[in-house]
Amino acid sequence: MNIGIVCYPTFGGSGVVATELGKALAKVGHKIHFITYSQPTRLDFFNENLYYHEVEFRSYPLFEYPPYELALASKMVDVVKYEKLDLLHVHYAIPHASAAYMAKQILKTEGINIPVVTTLHGTDITLVGKDASYAPVVTFSINASDGVTAVSEDLKKDTYLHFKITKDIHVIPNFIDLERFKKQKKEHFKRAICPNNEKLIVHTSNFRPVKRVDDVVRIFFNIRKEIPAKLLLVGDGPERTNIEALCRELGTCDDIRFLGKLEAVEEVLSVADLFIMPSEKESFGLAALEAMACEVPVVSTNTGGLPELNINGKTGFLSKVGDIEDMTRNALYILDENNLPVFKRNALERAKEFDITNIMPLYEEVYRNVLASQ
Ligand code: GMT
């Protein structure tokens, strides 16, 4: 198939899923055309089946906000027409699904039919999408899509709850490339960070309020009272300054390192003992899956799709949002040498169920069904 993938090119989960999916589809022979405003972070190798089309949008003194959606729709029209695409797959509803609708209507006037598949990732529904300023457009563009997928049962349920959706939503979970995300021998790194054999705890996120990174620091503060431990914080975002201030207030700065937007996160995960994800909302939790693939158990909240990934008492534990005491107890239980090896093994076994080679064919099936129904 000749497929156009529209996504955010940045570090966020939806962009990672879109890029990794495109790369995997290209490997099995599909031609994949990425359409976005800059080179996707993980589109970092050459493959004869991969193409990249940059959306250029001009600013003008009249525009306080340059109309990206229009430039994107125009680019989609151009790529569909000249690259003879069979299908557009847009990741993250806002504004990709409505831009795709516009492109589809324009192409229709020229006698071209382009089916659109929309994948819902989370905040496009649970935070931003249901806001009154976007909801009518999100509802319309989901219903106007030819195929709709969501990354968890919980996100599917939320979508039906918050919007008047008339379409079937197919659940296709996030996936992992086990060739890349696996425990690697990085013992020198562990010795450098934990010279006295401290337990190593990791959190990765975009440091938005929804990730509750302050809870990570508070849980770590409690753990540190009981056992020697170090915390690595990977990623960056709007909460970073507040988190640094909290570390100073709690006097834990010496045991916490901020690593920033590290690309090779699997190297850090390779030496970690525990991953903490205390999110307020999390439609799937790709970062937790990446940790599990590197044999790292997960202490998380029970929000959104997290219970569909993290098995309570087996691969980690689930707690109510904000229950720092419970998450501390669970972390200490997992970190006990009598329990840790079993949790690590279980985490890896569970991660294997989300191997990209199992999940990618589910997207191909959606594409085939959508094309067959045209
Ligand atoms: O986690 C984020 O804030 C980034 C966001 C995105 O859209 O880029 O991630 C969402 O999509 C990921 C991939 O499907 C999911 O694994 C994340 O759980 C989801 N984030 C939230 O629901 C907060």
Q: Which CATH superfamily is domain 2-175+355-372 in?
A: Glycogen Phosphorylase B; (3.40.50.2000)
Counting residues of the chain whose pLDDT is more than 90, the rounded percentage is: 89
Q: What is the pLDDT of residue 121?
A: 96
CA distance 269 to 183: 7
Q: Whose CA is nearest to atom 12 of ligand 1?
A: 13
What is the number of the ligand 1 atom nearest to the C-alpha of 281? 23
Cis peptide before 95 (omega within 30 of 0): yes
Long-range contacts of 333-340 (CB under 8 A, 24+ apart): 334/273, 334/274, 334/297, 334/299, 335/199, 335/223, 335/227, 335/229, 335/273, 335/274, 340/273, 340/297
pLDDT at 59: 84
CA distance 122 to 116: 19
Task: Calculate Rg over the CA atoms of the chain.
Answer: 21
281 lines ligand 1 (CB under 6 A): yes
At residue 318 the predicted structure's pLDDT band, cuts being 50, 70 and 90, is very high
123 ligand 1 Cβ < 6 A? yes
Question: Which two structure tokens, joined as six digits, stand for 282?
Answer: 């999390």
Overall average pLDDT of the 309-332 stretch: 98
DSSP 292-346: HHTT--EEEE--TTGGGTS-BTTTEEEE-TT-HHHHHHHHHHHHSTTTHHHHHHH
106: exposed, middle or buried (C-beta count within 10 Å: 0-12, 13-18, 19+)? middle
Within its chain, how far is the Cα of 17 from the centroid? 6
**For the chain, what is the total number of helices (H) and then of strands (E)?**
14, 13
> What's the pLDDT tens digit per position in 128-176?
767 788 899 999 999 999 999 999 999 999 999 999 999 999 999 999 9
Question: Which H helix or E strand runs over 72?
Answer: helix 68-83
Angle at 171 between CA 168 and CA 176, to 5 degrees: 155
- Ligand 1 atom nearest residue 287's Cα: 16
**What is the rounded average pLDDT for all residues in the chain?**
95
CATH class of 187-352: alpha beta
* Statement: residue 195 has pLDDT above 70: yes
Angle formed by the axes of helices 68-83 and 93-108, nearest 10°: 50
pLDDT for 338 beyond 70: yes
| CA–CA separation, 291 and 145 (whole Å) | 33
Q: Are 289 and 309 in contact (CB under 8 A)?
A: yes
Rounded to the nearest 10 degrees, how much is the dihedral formed by the CA atoms of 322, 293, 357, 141?
A: 20
In residues, how long is the chain? 374
CA of 271 to the centre of ligand 1 (A): 24
**pLDDT value at residue 44:** 77
Shortest-distance atom of ligand 1 to CA 304 = 22
Average pLDDT over residues 232-252: 96
Percent of the chain surpassing pLDDT 70: 99
Domain coordinates of the chain in residue numbers?
2-175+355-372, 187-352
Is 17:91 a contact under the CB 8 Å cutoff? yes
The token duo for 6 is 């529209």
Q: How far is CA 164 from CA 130, 142, 190, 247, in A?
A: 11, 10, 50, 44
The two three-digit tokens of residue 249, written as one number = 């207030």
Distance of CA 212 from the midpoint of ligand 1 (Å) = 14
Lowest mean pLDDT: which of 30-34, 133-137, 147-151, 224-228? Answer: 133-137
Sign (positive or negative) of CA dihedral 19, 21, 27, 31: negative
Query: What pLDDT, on a 0 to 100 scale, did the predictor assign at position 312?
Result: 98
- pLDDT, mean of residues 6-15: 87
pTM over 0.90: yes
Q: Is the CB of 51 under 6 A from ligand 1?
A: no
Segment 209-213 mean pLDDT: 97
Question: Does 11 have pLDDT greater than 70?
Answer: no
